[in-house]
Amino acid sequence: MHELPVVEDVIRVVGEQAEDRHLKRVSRITLVIGELSSVIDESVQMYFELLAEGTLCEGAALAFEHVPATLRCTACGSEFPHTHGFSCPRCGG
């Protein structure tokens, strides 16, 4: 259910940007989704199809790009993939 406000914001932001650029319609939107976001592609697609009706986004194709989580150690500043867990592999922080 938390996908609903996400989709509302996507349509609002994309619509504003399209209007600023004097576009008549949006044909494709790529969403970059972080590994830890718990956003479900199918739910986003469903809400998008309903909420985009009558907007510049109506009929636009959604593309989903999933990216792994990257963490930054507060002790040493090292960045590491979430696959290492939450402990820093460099300093143990």
Closest CA to 47 of 77, 11, 17, 80: 11
Under the banding of pLDDT at 50, 70 and 90, the label for residue 1 is low
Find residue 62's DSSP bridge partners.
29
Q: What is the pLDDT of residues 5-63, one digit of tens each?
A: 999 999 999 999 999 999 999 999 999 999 889 999 999 999 999 999 999 999 999 99
* DSSP E strands, 14-60: 28-34
